[in-house]
Amino acid sequence: MVNTGTHLPLSGKVALVTGGGRGIGAGIALELARRGASVAINYGHSAKSAQEVVEAIQAIGNQAVAIKADLTCVPNIESLIKQVVSHFGRLDIVVSNSGMEKFKPLEETTLEDFNEVFDLNTRAQMFVARYAYDHIQPGGRVILMSSIAAGLGVPGHALYAGSKAAIEGFTRCLAADFGRKGCTVNAIAPAGVKSDMWRENAWRYAPGCDKGSSLEEIETALASGSPLKRCGVPEDIGKVVSFLASPDAEWVNGEFFLFLFLPSARCKGHGGDWNADPFASERIGQIIPVNGGANI
């Protein structure tokens, strides 16, 4: 049963969050629920943590369900969307959050590595949107997940960066496609968000850190570059997604929200030096853009 109250901005809405059982996805799911949405939590392997998110949502008085689906298999994506609609009776908000990160030296990269990363980070996001289109309610919202890595030259990171760079192109074109149904499509590109993926790989981005650095040292190094002197947490991303899913964001469409938490990101890190400054200066005007149509 869907919450049909009117006191919260997302009351009566049904959201699907892929990869919603942990990390950023869990933060997104909880923030959507706090604003009144009923939430379907898709997970691939994290059944226990996905159920914990469901129980947390139910504890605040909203409906939630966990649905297992391997999104690297395209027919599973169509089945997932249909299961959500069957369970709740509608679909209003789709957050395509599932993804993986891989670092691999170029000379060791294989076709299997390429397929592993692109099947989930890129192809799955395209088909989540594709099958959502068939069922989403008029005025619905689609939010895709990119990464700041899409614009950085980090050694050994070509597969991940490339898989996320494609999402910006998807977003602009899908915004035009979904416009026929009165729906919006936007993407967000997080950076420095504390999650399980962050714990595994953040040392690669942290100035002066290496694989042997403690999490405290890594967090201090990364937070020092932020004007707020902290790293992001999943709830930070969840709040932005919740805004994009809300009625107030109706005129925000086809946009790419870049969370560039390092004002100057010249890093001497694992595998070589890299520099985010050209990317930052080129894209700084797109951090919080608002306009009524896709930039085509």
- What letter does residue 272 receive in the DSSP assignment? E
User: What DSSP element (H or E) covers 64?
Assistant: strand 64-68
Reply yes or no on whether 164 is catalytic.
yes
H-only helix segments in 37-109: 47-59, 74-88
Query: Cα–Cα–Cα angle for 51, 53, 54, nearest 5°?
Result: 60
By the 10 Å C-beta count (0-12 exposed, 13-18 middle, 19+ buried), 168 is classed as buried
By the 10 Å C-beta count (0-12 exposed, 13-18 middle, 19+ buried), 82 is classed as middle
Name the active-site residue from 164, 194, 195, 242: 164
Contacts of 180 (CB under 8 A, 6+ apart): none
Name the active-site residue from 49, 96, 146, 195: 146
Name the active-site residue from 147, 195, 242, 246: 147
Reply yes or no on whether 146 is catalytic.
yes
How, if at all, do strands 272-275 and 266-269 pair? antiparallel
Nearest to 177, CA basis, from 126, 248, 123: 126
Reply yes or no on whether 226 is catalytic.
no
- Tally the residues of the chain: 296
Name the active-site residue from 160, 194, 195, 246: 160
Reply yes or no on whether 133 is catalytic.
no
Active site members: 146-147, 160, 164
